Amino acid sequence: MSEAASRVPALLAGELRVVNLGLQAFASDLERRGVAVLHVAWSPPAGGDLKRAALLAALDDEEDADA
């Protein structure tokens, strides 16, 4: 058994802590069940529009080059 696999039982026996990205309802449900949750409000760049996201990335690359 690998070292990582041998740590799984201890990990699962401990307190559950969750980092939730994007979907507030999922975090709220976990909180109602007593689970410690860190919610991060996240959505895909440009609302998921790939062409707009590429344009934003290009602008970001230009800003990095100027720094």
For the chain, 67 residues long, give each residue's pLDDT as a single digit of tens: 788 889 889 888 988 899 999 899 999 999 999 999 999 999 888 999 999 999 999 998 876 777 6
The pLDDT, as a whole number, for residue 60 is 84
Six-digit token string for 40: 């991060």
Q: What is the pLDDT of residue 67?
A: 64
> Which pairing describes strands 17-21 and 36-40: parallel, antiparallel, or unpaired?
parallel
pTM: 0.56
